[in-house]
Structures are given as C-alpha cells and as structure tokens.
A = this chain, B = another copy of it.
C-alpha cells in the first residue's frame, strides 16, 4: 500500500542538508507546503514519524535517521543511473569511475589514463580518492567501477588482477650518509626523519614490513601531501622517504636522489585492478584492464 518513492528520499535528504523544510523546499523547487504534505502522507501510510516537531525544528526520529541513511545510499545511485542512461542516448559509452587507494597507484594511473582516453573518446574518466568506506566497499556500493589498490580481495563477486610489480625502496638525498649503500637495515633508520604521505602507519609498508618487525621507529615522522615536495625535502637532506623504485627513478636525475633496497631481499609490492565480476564483459571497462595488462608487460 505505502510506497517509498524517490521524492521521499530526496525530501529527507534535502531537509537534512538544509536544516529546514522551507530551505529544502527551495532546493527542490517546491513549496514548503508540498514537502509537509508529502511527508505527512508517508508518515500516515507507514504509521511512523519521520521527525519529531520540536518547536520549529525538525529532529529526525530513529526511523527518520534510518530513512536518511537509505536516502544517502540510494539517491546517488539513482542519479548516476540517470546520467548513465543519458550517456547511452548520446552514444557515449559511459563514465569510468576509478577509485584509488594508495599514492603510488595514482602515479601509475596517470600513465595509463592518457592512452586510454585517446583510444576511447566516448568514455569519460572520473577519479575518486575518498570513499564512504573502503575502496572495496565503494566497488560493491557502485560508487566506482574500477579500483586501483595494493590490497586485492579474491572470491567475492569481484575480480582482481595484478597490473604492476615493483619494489618499494628507500630514497635518500645526494649527500646522505647512506647514499650509495646497496641496502639498508632497520636500525640504520633509527636516527632518521621519515617523510611519508599522510596516511595511518599501518598502511605504510616501510613500517609494517620493515621497521615494526625489527622494533624500530624513526626519530621523527613527517607527513607530506605531494610526491614532488616530498622528494624536494629528501633531496635537501631533510629526511628520507619510502617510494616505489620506478617512481624514485623518475626523479633521480633531476633531484639527485638515490634509491636503496630495504633489507637484503627488498620489499616487493603489487598494484591490482579490481572490478565487479558481473561487469567484466563491458567493453570499455575490459579495455582498460587490457591496456593496463599491456603496460605491465612492457615494464612500467
């Protein structure tokens, strides 16, 4: 009997965003009265209050809060579906929404995206770095269509494939005492300043796979947003950083930084591409994975 419609979701959402029915009405190009009527009717039909009216304020009830969470989850999906359908109309293939879960992933992506865009002029590319939850959650939740990550997940309706093998190395400046050493041991970093991207320590391989097992912590730890600045700091002797070897090499000549193996065996890493299994057949998605795979064989 009662039907939860898109309008209801939109109203609840708008009220949450704007704080009042009146303001929400404006955004939705409706009158305050319309919203009031609409929600009133829904409340009657479901037999549950969405908001408690406290003075002239609307405070969501438990049911209201739940409805809001549903709205925040579903409305974006509806919106995206519409957009996608319109793209079909214009002969565009669609938008490839790529999610990134690590900084080196981004650097790698830049190399692959440009040839892809050239091959697929009717596909747009969107890159997102922030998700409601994790990248995998974003894949499941249809926030993104493709995930670039160091942490794959098999056997789940998703499909992962490695597209880049690389070595994580220590990068030091030209006059650093360790420059020229073939490899470095954890305790040699005890007096160093470690520069890294601003992510939790348990996401930094140099900690989880190198320093922490040896019980070592660097003297100081400094987070920096961008690779460029990070390496300028390293070049000027203000600290050391851990980066993929291929990324370090790109800066080696220009800045005079050098790469040093972490431990005797080095730290090996991979970057994976993940998609929803059900969509493995979509041509422009498949093509991206193919292109990435080709890149791998050339040696990125």
Give chain A's interface residues, CB within 8 Å of chain B.
2-6, 46-48, 61-63, 66-67, 69-70, 73-74, 77-78, 81-82, 84-86, 88-90, 132-134, 136-137, 140-142, 151, 153, 155-158, 277-278
- Copies per assembly: 2
Q: Is the interface of A mostly helix, strand, loop or mixed?
A: helix
The smallest beta-carbon distance between A267 and chain B, in angstroms, is 19
The smallest beta-carbon distance between A284 and chain B, in angstroms, is 12
Give the chain B neighbours of A69 by CB distance below 8 A.
278
Give the chain B neighbours of A61 by CB distance below 8 A.
88
Give the chain B neighbours of A277 by CB distance below 8 A.
133
Give the chain B neighbours of A74 by CB distance below 8 A.
74, 77-78
**Contact between B82 and A46 (Cβ–Cβ < 8 Å)?**
yes
Give the chain B neighbours of A278 by CB distance below 8 A.
69, 133
Interface centre among A61, A66, A140 (most CB of B within 10 A): A140
Query: Given A47-B89, A48-B85, A48-B88, 20 more contacts at CB 8 Å?
Result: A3-B6, A4-B82, A5-B5, A6-B6, A46-B82, A46-B85, A47-B90, A48-B86, A61-B88, A62-B88, A66-B88, A69-B278, A74-B74, A133-B157, A134-B157, A136-B140, A136-B153, A137-B158, A151-B155, A153-B153
Partner of A132, one of B47, B137, B157: B157
Give the chain B neighbours of A63 by CB distance below 8 A.
85, 88-89
Q: Which residue of B lies closest to A94 (CB)?
A: B66
Interface centre among A6, A47, A66, A85 (most CB of B within 10 A): A85
**Contact between B6 and A5 (Cβ–Cβ < 8 Å)?**
yes
Give the chain B neighbours of A155 by CB distance below 8 A.
134, 151
